[in-house]
């Protein structure tokens, strides 16, 4: 049975057999343990985290009686959905993210709660706000690791190129100008964009690291 726990860049969840590099949660359980089906709300609180799939030999029954496990293609996908690194299993990354987050968002102070509050207000899935439209001028100024949407598809920006996202990996890089043929909107929450711009380097799926020329 393929469970509905694979996360898309906009935070929505779907069933797909491809495996992800990271797991995570949204503060608790929002599935039915008996049927393993999701309930009407796809989070329990604003503390959304991104975790290692293997940590200290711990084992869990996925979508059992505990919290609802979510799986991500990579950290770029998790950040786009509004998740941040876990301070327990990814402590070094979490501290690095927090430093960059505060540099980009000084109003956050040095508080995980404040980070979660600012991110939650900008998540595609929770904010209810109209997605920010991007122009041809905006795209080159965005840092690597930002996700955008164009013509119903998600793209990750890397090296001033756009990589089409899927549950199993990224497509070949394409020029940013090709995206402007249709409306382009920002997916990654703006406070996270500022953290990426301040220097946080997320973990990419291996398909994004292959030396490929733009198509």
C-alpha–C-alpha distance, residues 207 and 175, integer Å: 17
- Joined tokens for residue 119: 């991110």
Count of domains in the chain?
2
Per the domain annotation, does 111 fall within a domain?
A: yes
State which residues form the domain around 182: 130-188
Establish if 212 belongs to a structural domain. Answer: no
Residues 141 and 182 placed together within one structural domain of the fold: yes
Cβ-count burial 42-76 (b if 16+ within 10 Å, e if not): bbbebbbbbbbeeeeeeeeeebeeebbbbbbbbbb
Residues 149 and 182 in one domain: yes
Which residue pairs, CB below 8 angstroms and at least 24 apart, start in 97-104?
97/195, 97/200, 100/195, 100/196, 100/198, 100/199, 100/200, 101/191, 101/192, 101/194, 101/195, 101/198, 101/200, 103/195, 103/198, 103/199, 104/191, 104/193, 104/194, 104/195, 104/197, 104/198
Structure confidence by residue, pLDDT tens digits, 45-77: 999 999 999 877 677 778 889 899 999 999 999
Within a domain: residue 75? yes
pLDDT in tens, 77-134: 999 999 999 999 999 999 999 999 999 999 888 789 999 999 999 999 988 878 999 9
Same domain, 85 and 177: no
pLDDT in the model for residue 1:
74
Whether the per-residue pLDDT at 3 is higher than 50: the answer is yes
CA distance 130 to 11: 15
* Domain shared by 70 and 164, yes or no: no
> 147 with 111, same domain?
no
């Amino acid at each position: 049975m393929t469970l509905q726990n694979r996360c898309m860049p906009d935070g929505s969840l779907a069933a797909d057999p491809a495996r992800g590099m990271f797991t995570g949660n949204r503060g608790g359980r929002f599935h039915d343990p008996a049927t393993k089906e999701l309930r009407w709300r796809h989070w329990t609180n604003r503390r959304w985290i991104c975790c290692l799939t293997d940590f200290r030999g711990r084992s869990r029954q996925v979508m059992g009686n505990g919290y609802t496990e979510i799986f991500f293609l990579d950290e770029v996908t998790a950040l786009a959905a509004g998740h941040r690194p876990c301070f327990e299993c990814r402590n070094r990354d979490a501290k690095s993210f927090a430093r960059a987050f505060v540099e980009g968002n000084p109003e956050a102070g040095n508080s995980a709660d404040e980070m979660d509050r600012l991110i939650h207000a900008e998540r595609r899935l929770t904010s209810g706000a109209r997605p920010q439209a991007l122009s041809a001028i905006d795209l080159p100024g965005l840092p690597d690791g930002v996700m955008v949407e164009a013509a119903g598809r998600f793209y990750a920006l890397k090296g001033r190129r756009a990589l089409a996202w899927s549950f199993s990996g990224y497509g070949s890089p394409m020029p940013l100008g090709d995206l402007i043929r249709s409306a382009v909107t920002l997916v990654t929450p703006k406070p996270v964009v500022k953290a990426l711009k301040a220097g946080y380097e997320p973990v990419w799926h291996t398909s994004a690291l292959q030396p490929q020329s733009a198509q």
